[in-house]
Amino acid sequence: MLKFGRDVTDNPAGREFSRGAGRCREIQPEITAKTSLVGVIGHPVAHSLSPQMHNASFASRGLDFAYVAMDVAPEDLGEAVRGLAVLGFAGFNVTIPHKEEILRFLDDLDESAERPGAVNTVVVEGGRTRGYNTDGFGFVESCREAGVDLAGESVLVLGAGGAAAAIADAVVSAGASSVVIANRTPERAEILVRRLRKGHAGAKIVACGADDLYDACRRSRVLVNTTPLGMRQGDPMPLPEEVLEDRVVCDIVYRRGGETPLLSVARERGAAVVDGRTMLLYQGVEAQRLWTGVEPDVEAMRAVLEEGG
Ligand code: NAP
Protein backbone atom coordinates (compact mmCIF):
# COMPACT_ATOMS: atom_id res chain seq x y z
CA MET A 1 0.00 0.00 0.00
CA LEU A 2 1.15 3.53 -0.65
CA LYS A 3 2.40 5.56 2.30
CA PHE A 4 -0.18 8.16 1.34
CA GLY A 5 -3.23 7.23 -0.61
CA ARG A 6 -5.15 4.05 -1.15
CA ASP A 7 -6.19 2.64 -4.49
CA VAL A 8 -10.00 2.67 -4.29
CA THR A 9 -10.23 -0.60 -6.21
CA ASP A 10 -9.62 -2.07 -2.71
CA ASN A 11 -12.35 0.13 -1.28
CA PRO A 12 -15.99 -0.72 -2.04
CA ALA A 13 -17.06 2.78 -0.89
CA GLY A 14 -14.66 4.46 -3.31
CA ARG A 15 -15.58 5.74 -6.75
CA GLU A 16 -13.86 4.30 -9.81
CA PHE A 17 -12.25 7.11 -11.77
CA SER A 18 -10.68 5.11 -14.56
CA ARG A 19 -10.77 5.87 -18.24
CA GLY A 20 -8.97 4.49 -21.27
CA ALA A 21 -6.02 2.48 -20.02
CA GLY A 22 -7.20 3.09 -16.42
CA ARG A 23 -4.19 5.29 -15.65
CA CYS A 24 -6.22 7.72 -13.57
CA ARG A 25 -7.65 6.05 -10.48
CA GLU A 26 -9.14 8.07 -7.70
CA ILE A 27 -6.94 7.94 -4.64
CA GLN A 28 -8.36 8.25 -1.13
CA PRO A 29 -5.77 10.09 0.96
CA GLU A 30 -4.87 8.78 4.38
CA ILE A 31 -4.35 11.98 6.31
CA THR A 32 -2.53 11.59 9.61
CA ALA A 33 -1.05 13.94 12.22
CA LYS A 34 2.18 13.95 10.20
CA THR A 35 0.69 14.85 6.83
CA SER A 36 2.11 18.02 5.27
CA LEU A 37 -0.64 20.36 4.14
CA VAL A 38 -0.68 22.50 0.99
CA GLY A 39 -3.57 24.06 -0.93
CA VAL A 40 -4.92 26.96 -2.96
CA ILE A 41 -6.47 30.22 -1.78
CA GLY A 42 -8.75 32.17 -4.12
CA HIS A 43 -12.26 33.53 -4.40
CA PRO A 44 -14.02 31.50 -5.73
CA VAL A 45 -12.10 28.19 -5.73
CA ALA A 46 -14.83 25.52 -5.72
CA HIS A 47 -14.24 24.82 -9.45
CA SER A 48 -10.49 24.23 -9.04
CA LEU A 49 -8.97 21.01 -10.37
CA SER A 50 -5.73 21.66 -8.47
CA PRO A 51 -6.60 19.44 -5.44
CA GLN A 52 -7.13 16.34 -7.62
CA MET A 53 -4.13 17.21 -9.81
CA HIS A 54 -1.67 17.58 -6.91
CA ASN A 55 -3.07 14.76 -4.79
CA ALA A 56 -2.74 12.34 -7.72
CA SER A 57 0.99 13.05 -7.92
CA PHE A 58 1.49 12.94 -4.13
CA ALA A 59 -0.14 9.50 -4.06
CA SER A 60 1.83 8.26 -7.04
CA ARG A 61 5.11 9.42 -5.50
CA GLY A 62 4.21 8.11 -2.04
CA LEU A 63 4.47 11.58 -0.51
CA ASP A 64 2.65 12.28 2.76
CA PHE A 65 1.12 15.54 1.52
CA ALA A 66 -2.52 16.64 1.09
CA TYR A 67 -3.80 19.55 -1.04
CA VAL A 68 -7.06 21.37 -0.24
CA ALA A 69 -8.98 24.33 -1.73
CA MET A 70 -9.73 27.31 0.56
CA ASP A 71 -12.07 30.15 -0.33
CA VAL A 72 -10.62 33.40 1.05
CA ALA A 73 -12.47 36.70 0.59
CA PRO A 74 -10.29 39.68 -0.39
CA GLU A 75 -10.76 41.42 2.98
CA ASP A 76 -9.46 38.32 4.80
CA LEU A 77 -6.31 37.80 2.75
CA GLY A 78 -3.73 39.06 5.27
CA GLU A 79 -5.21 37.02 8.12
CA ALA A 80 -5.42 33.93 5.92
CA VAL A 81 -1.74 34.15 4.92
CA ARG A 82 -0.63 34.52 8.54
CA GLY A 83 -3.01 31.76 9.58
CA LEU A 84 -1.67 29.26 7.05
CA ALA A 85 1.91 29.96 8.15
CA VAL A 86 0.97 29.58 11.83
CA LEU A 87 -0.96 26.38 11.13
CA GLY A 88 2.15 24.83 9.63
CA PHE A 89 1.15 24.61 5.95
CA ALA A 90 4.16 23.72 3.78
CA GLY A 91 2.91 26.19 1.17
CA PHE A 92 -0.02 27.15 -1.01
CA ASN A 93 -1.08 28.36 -4.42
CA VAL A 94 -2.68 31.75 -4.92
CA THR A 95 -5.31 32.44 -7.53
CA ILE A 96 -7.77 35.13 -8.62
CA PRO A 97 -8.20 37.73 -7.12
CA HIS A 98 -5.21 37.60 -4.73
CA LYS A 99 -2.12 37.24 -6.96
CA GLU A 100 -1.03 40.88 -6.76
CA GLU A 101 -2.53 41.93 -3.43
CA ILE A 102 -0.74 39.13 -1.58
CA LEU A 103 2.70 40.68 -2.15
CA ARG A 104 2.35 42.99 0.85
CA PHE A 105 1.54 40.11 3.21
CA LEU A 106 4.59 37.95 2.41
CA ASP A 107 7.97 37.97 4.20
CA ASP A 108 10.05 37.46 1.09
CA LEU A 109 9.82 37.27 -2.71
CA ASP A 110 11.65 35.15 -5.25
CA GLU A 111 12.65 37.05 -8.39
CA SER A 112 10.05 35.05 -10.39
CA ALA A 113 7.39 36.95 -8.39
CA GLU A 114 9.23 40.21 -7.77
CA ARG A 115 9.82 41.10 -11.44
CA PRO A 116 6.18 40.66 -12.57
CA GLY A 117 4.71 41.78 -9.22
CA ALA A 118 2.47 38.70 -8.96
CA VAL A 119 2.57 35.54 -6.86
CA ASN A 120 0.90 32.19 -7.59
CA THR A 121 2.88 29.96 -5.19
CA VAL A 122 4.00 30.44 -1.59
CA VAL A 123 6.51 28.28 0.27
CA VAL A 124 6.40 28.37 4.08
CA GLU A 125 9.63 27.54 5.88
CA GLY A 126 10.23 28.07 9.58
CA GLY A 127 7.02 30.12 9.72
CA ARG A 128 8.27 32.54 7.02
CA THR A 129 6.41 32.97 3.73
CA ARG A 130 8.24 33.31 0.40
CA GLY A 131 6.35 34.13 -2.81
CA TYR A 132 7.14 32.61 -6.21
CA ASN A 133 5.51 32.74 -9.59
CA THR A 134 5.33 29.49 -11.57
CA ASP A 135 2.76 30.71 -14.14
CA GLY A 136 5.49 31.98 -16.47
CA PHE A 137 7.36 28.68 -16.22
CA GLY A 138 4.09 26.86 -16.95
CA PHE A 139 3.49 28.98 -20.04
CA VAL A 140 6.99 28.51 -21.47
CA GLU A 141 6.77 24.75 -20.84
CA SER A 142 3.37 24.59 -22.59
CA CYS A 143 4.96 26.27 -25.63
CA ARG A 144 7.94 23.91 -25.52
CA GLU A 145 5.61 20.90 -25.41
CA ALA A 146 3.78 22.28 -28.47
CA GLY A 147 7.14 22.57 -30.28
CA VAL A 148 7.34 26.37 -29.95
CA ASP A 149 10.73 27.88 -29.04
CA LEU A 150 10.19 31.48 -27.89
CA ALA A 151 13.81 32.56 -28.42
CA GLY A 152 13.96 35.33 -31.02
CA GLU A 153 10.15 35.54 -31.36
CA SER A 154 8.02 38.69 -31.40
CA VAL A 155 5.26 38.16 -28.83
CA LEU A 156 2.01 40.01 -28.18
CA VAL A 157 0.39 39.47 -24.77
CA LEU A 158 -3.27 40.52 -24.59
CA GLY A 159 -4.15 41.60 -21.03
CA ALA A 160 -2.12 43.22 -18.28
CA GLY A 161 -3.24 41.32 -15.17
CA GLY A 162 -1.35 38.87 -12.97
CA ALA A 163 -1.12 36.12 -15.59
CA ALA A 164 0.01 38.55 -18.31
CA ALA A 165 2.75 39.89 -16.03
CA ALA A 166 4.15 36.44 -15.26
CA ILE A 167 3.96 35.33 -18.90
CA ALA A 168 5.55 38.50 -20.29
CA ASP A 169 8.37 38.19 -17.74
CA ALA A 170 9.03 34.54 -18.63
CA VAL A 171 8.82 35.21 -22.36
CA VAL A 172 11.51 37.91 -22.10
CA SER A 173 13.65 35.55 -19.99
CA ALA A 174 13.16 32.86 -22.65
CA GLY A 175 14.80 35.19 -25.20
CA ALA A 176 11.86 36.73 -27.11
CA SER A 177 13.06 39.55 -29.37
CA SER A 178 10.15 41.84 -28.39
CA VAL A 179 7.03 41.83 -26.23
CA VAL A 180 3.94 44.00 -26.70
CA ILE A 181 1.48 44.27 -23.79
CA ALA A 182 -1.97 45.13 -25.19
CA ASN A 183 -4.78 45.99 -22.79
CA ARG A 184 -8.23 47.59 -22.96
CA THR A 185 -7.07 49.86 -20.09
CA PRO A 186 -3.83 51.22 -21.62
CA GLU A 187 -2.62 52.77 -18.34
CA ARG A 188 -2.43 49.31 -16.77
CA ALA A 189 -0.36 48.04 -19.72
CA GLU A 190 2.01 50.99 -19.31
CA ILE A 191 2.46 50.32 -15.58
CA LEU A 192 3.28 46.69 -16.32
CA VAL A 193 5.75 47.64 -19.07
CA ARG A 194 7.57 50.00 -16.68
CA ARG A 195 7.78 47.29 -14.05
CA LEU A 196 9.07 44.64 -16.50
CA ARG A 197 11.67 47.00 -17.98
CA LYS A 198 13.16 47.45 -14.50
CA GLY A 199 13.73 43.70 -14.24
CA HIS A 200 14.92 43.28 -17.85
CA ALA A 201 17.21 46.19 -18.69
CA GLY A 202 17.51 46.73 -22.46
CA ALA A 203 14.64 44.39 -23.39
CA LYS A 204 12.16 45.59 -26.02
CA ILE A 205 8.87 45.73 -24.09
CA VAL A 206 6.15 48.16 -25.19
CA ALA A 207 2.51 48.89 -24.35
CA CYS A 208 -0.41 49.19 -26.74
CA GLY A 209 -4.09 50.15 -26.39
CA ALA A 210 -7.18 48.73 -28.09
CA ASP A 211 -6.87 51.10 -31.08
CA ASP A 212 -3.46 49.73 -32.06
CA LEU A 213 -4.24 46.05 -31.40
CA TYR A 214 -4.74 45.05 -35.04
CA ASP A 215 -1.44 46.48 -36.26
CA ALA A 216 0.43 45.17 -33.22
CA CYS A 217 -0.91 41.65 -33.93
CA ARG A 218 0.20 41.96 -37.56
CA ARG A 219 3.75 42.71 -36.38
CA SER A 220 3.90 39.82 -33.86
CA ARG A 221 4.33 36.11 -34.55
CA VAL A 222 3.21 34.71 -31.18
CA LEU A 223 -0.17 35.92 -29.85
CA VAL A 224 -1.20 35.13 -26.27
CA ASN A 225 -4.67 35.70 -24.79
CA THR A 226 -4.52 36.25 -21.03
CA THR A 227 -7.93 37.93 -20.68
CA PRO A 228 -10.87 35.81 -19.43
CA LEU A 229 -12.58 36.20 -22.86
CA GLY A 230 -13.48 32.73 -24.11
CA MET A 231 -14.37 31.26 -20.74
CA ARG A 232 -18.07 31.83 -21.28
CA GLN A 233 -20.35 30.90 -24.15
CA GLY A 234 -21.02 34.01 -26.26
CA ASP A 235 -17.85 35.90 -25.27
CA PRO A 236 -16.43 38.01 -28.12
CA MET A 237 -13.18 36.81 -29.71
CA PRO A 238 -10.24 38.33 -27.81
CA LEU A 239 -8.16 38.83 -30.98
CA PRO A 240 -9.22 39.80 -34.54
CA GLU A 241 -9.73 36.62 -36.60
CA GLU A 242 -7.92 38.02 -39.65
CA VAL A 243 -4.59 38.25 -37.84
CA LEU A 244 -4.43 34.61 -36.73
CA GLU A 245 -3.17 33.11 -39.96
CA ASP A 246 0.26 31.45 -39.76
CA ARG A 247 0.76 32.64 -36.19
CA VAL A 248 1.40 30.79 -32.96
CA VAL A 249 -1.81 31.40 -30.98
CA CYS A 250 -1.84 30.67 -27.25
CA ASP A 251 -4.94 30.84 -25.05
CA ILE A 252 -4.37 30.49 -21.32
CA VAL A 253 -8.14 30.26 -20.84
CA TYR A 254 -9.34 26.66 -21.00
CA ARG A 255 -12.79 25.17 -21.23
CA ARG A 256 -14.36 21.97 -20.07
CA GLY A 257 -14.77 19.53 -22.92
CA GLY A 258 -12.80 21.22 -25.67
CA GLU A 259 -10.90 24.13 -27.12
CA THR A 260 -11.75 27.79 -26.80
CA PRO A 261 -13.24 29.44 -29.91
CA LEU A 262 -9.97 31.40 -30.31
CA LEU A 263 -7.92 28.22 -30.64
CA SER A 264 -10.48 26.53 -32.94
CA VAL A 265 -10.52 29.48 -35.34
CA ALA A 266 -6.73 29.82 -35.17
CA ARG A 267 -6.32 26.13 -36.00
CA GLU A 268 -8.70 26.48 -38.97
CA ARG A 269 -6.56 29.36 -40.21
CA GLY A 270 -3.37 27.35 -40.12
CA ALA A 271 -1.93 28.66 -36.87
CA ALA A 272 -0.01 26.54 -34.37
CA VAL A 273 -1.97 26.51 -31.10
CA VAL A 274 -0.98 26.25 -27.45
CA ASP A 275 -3.67 25.20 -24.95
CA GLY A 276 -4.05 26.73 -21.46
CA ARG A 277 -4.52 23.35 -19.80
CA THR A 278 -0.86 22.52 -20.40
CA MET A 279 0.18 25.77 -18.71
CA LEU A 280 -2.03 24.85 -15.74
CA LEU A 281 -0.28 21.48 -15.60
CA TYR A 282 3.26 22.83 -15.62
CA GLN A 283 2.67 25.73 -13.20
CA GLY A 284 1.45 23.01 -10.81
CA VAL A 285 4.42 20.76 -11.53
CA GLU A 286 6.85 23.55 -10.64
CA ALA A 287 4.90 24.51 -7.49
CA GLN A 288 4.96 20.89 -6.32
CA ARG A 289 8.73 20.72 -6.88
CA LEU A 290 9.11 23.80 -4.66
CA TRP A 291 7.03 22.31 -1.82
CA THR A 292 8.35 18.74 -1.87
CA GLY A 293 11.77 18.80 -3.53
CA VAL A 294 10.62 15.66 -5.37
CA GLU A 295 10.05 15.35 -9.12
CA PRO A 296 6.23 15.24 -9.56
CA ASP A 297 4.39 12.58 -11.58
CA VAL A 298 3.54 14.77 -14.58
CA GLU A 299 1.49 12.10 -16.32
CA ALA A 300 -0.69 11.44 -13.23
CA MET A 301 -1.36 15.18 -13.03
CA ARG A 302 -2.09 15.44 -16.76
CA ALA A 303 -4.53 12.51 -16.58
CA VAL A 304 -6.56 14.34 -13.91
CA LEU A 305 -6.78 17.48 -16.06
CA GLU A 306 -7.80 15.47 -19.12
CA GLU A 307 -10.43 13.61 -17.12
CA GLY A 308 -11.73 16.68 -15.30
CA GLY A 309 -12.02 19.24 -17.99
P1 NAP B 1 -6.65 39.62 -13.93
O2 NAP B 1 -5.47 39.98 -13.12
O3 NAP B 1 -8.02 39.93 -13.45
O4 NAP B 1 -6.44 40.30 -15.39
C5 NAP B 1 -7.42 40.18 -16.40
C6 NAP B 1 -6.97 40.95 -17.64
O7 NAP B 1 -7.95 40.72 -18.66
C8 NAP B 1 -6.89 42.47 -17.45
O9 NAP B 1 -5.85 42.98 -18.24
C10 NAP B 1 -8.24 42.96 -17.96
O11 NAP B 1 -8.21 44.25 -18.52
C12 NAP B 1 -8.48 41.97 -19.08
N13 NAP B 1 -9.91 41.79 -19.35
C14 NAP B 1 -10.84 41.33 -18.46
N15 NAP B 1 -12.05 41.29 -19.06
C16 NAP B 1 -11.88 41.78 -20.32
C17 NAP B 1 -12.76 42.01 -21.40
N18 NAP B 1 -14.08 41.73 -21.31
N19 NAP B 1 -12.25 42.51 -22.55
C20 NAP B 1 -10.93 42.79 -22.65
N21 NAP B 1 -10.05 42.61 -21.65
C22 NAP B 1 -10.51 42.10 -20.50
O23 NAP B 1 -6.67 38.04 -14.22
P24 NAP B 1 -5.41 37.04 -14.38
O25 NAP B 1 -5.01 36.49 -13.07
O26 NAP B 1 -4.39 37.70 -15.22
O27 NAP B 1 -6.11 35.82 -15.19
C28 NAP B 1 -6.63 36.03 -16.48
C29 NAP B 1 -7.21 34.74 -17.04
O30 NAP B 1 -6.20 33.76 -17.17
C31 NAP B 1 -8.29 34.11 -16.17
O32 NAP B 1 -9.33 33.66 -17.00
C33 NAP B 1 -7.58 32.92 -15.52
O34 NAP B 1 -8.47 31.85 -15.24
C35 NAP B 1 -6.59 32.52 -16.60
N36 NAP B 1 -5.39 31.87 -16.05
C37 NAP B 1 -5.04 30.64 -16.55
C38 NAP B 1 -3.89 30.02 -16.07
C39 NAP B 1 -3.49 28.66 -16.60
O40 NAP B 1 -2.68 27.99 -15.95
N41 NAP B 1 -3.97 28.25 -17.77
C42 NAP B 1 -3.09 30.64 -15.10
C43 NAP B 1 -3.47 31.90 -14.63
C44 NAP B 1 -4.62 32.51 -15.12
P45 NAP B 1 -8.36 45.59 -17.62
O46 NAP B 1 -6.99 45.87 -17.07
O47 NAP B 1 -8.80 46.61 -18.61
O48 NAP B 1 -9.37 45.30 -16.55
Do 142 and 240 lie in one domain? The reply is yes
Do 267 and 284 lie in one domain? The reply is no
For the chain, give me the number of helices (H) and strands (E)?
Answer: 10, 14
For the domain that residue 259 is a member of, what is the CATH number?
3.40.50.720
Q: What is the residue with the minimal CA distance to atom 30 of ligand 1?
A: 226
Cβ-in-10-Å burial (0-12, 13-18, 19+) of 143 comes to buried
Q: Report the side by side order of strands in the sheet with 108-109.
A: 65-71, 36-42, 91-94, 121-125, 128-132, 108-109
pLDDT for 12 equals 31
Do 145 and 254 lie in one domain? The reply is yes
pLDDT for 28 equals 57
45-75 burial, b if ≥16 CB within 10 A, otherwise e?
beebbbbbbbbbbbbbbebbbbbbbbebeee
Residue 115 domain boundaries? 17-133+279-308
For 27, phi and psi rounded to 5 degrees? -115, 130
Do 167 and 124 lie in one domain? The reply is no
Q: Is position 99 annotated as part of the catalytic site? A: yes
Q: Is residue 25 part of a domain?
A: yes
CA neighbor of 225 nearest in space, from 266, 186, 270: 266
Contact yes or no for 260/286 (Cβ under 8 A)? no
Q: What is the residue with the minimal CA distance to atom 45 of ligand 1?
A: 185
For the domain that residue 113 is a member of, what is the CATH number?
3.40.50.10860
Per-residue pLDDT of the chain (309 residues; tens, 9 = 90+): 333 443 333 333 333 333 333 444 455 568 999 999 999 999 999 989 999 999 999 999 999 999 999 999 999 999 999 999 999 999 999 999 999 999 999 999 999 999 999 999 999 999 999 999 999 999 999 999 999 999 999 999 999 999 999 999 999 999 999 999 999 999 999 999 999 999 999 999 999 988 999 999 999 999 999 999 999 889 999 999 999 999 999 999 998 778 999 999 999 999 999 999 999 999 999 999 999 999 999 999 999 999 876
- To test the ligand 1 pocket, which listed residue (43, 226, 232, 237) has its Cβ within 8 A of the most ligand atoms? 226
Do 146 and 245 lie in one domain? The reply is yes
Do 119 and 179 lie in one domain? The reply is no
Do 250 and 296 lie in one domain? The reply is no
pLDDT for 13 equals 31
Omega into 74 within 30° of 0, i.e. cis?
no
Ligand 1 atom at shortest distance from the alpha carbon of 227: 7
Q: Is residue 12 part of a domain?
A: no
Q: Measured in angstroms, how far is the CA atom of residue 158 from the centroid of ligand 1? A: 9
- Domain count for the chain: 2
Please identify which of the residues 34, 99, 198, 204 carries the catalytic annotation.
99
Q: What is the residue with the minimal CA distance to atom 48 of ligand 1?
A: 185
The whole-angstrom separation of Cα 132 and Cα 118 is 8
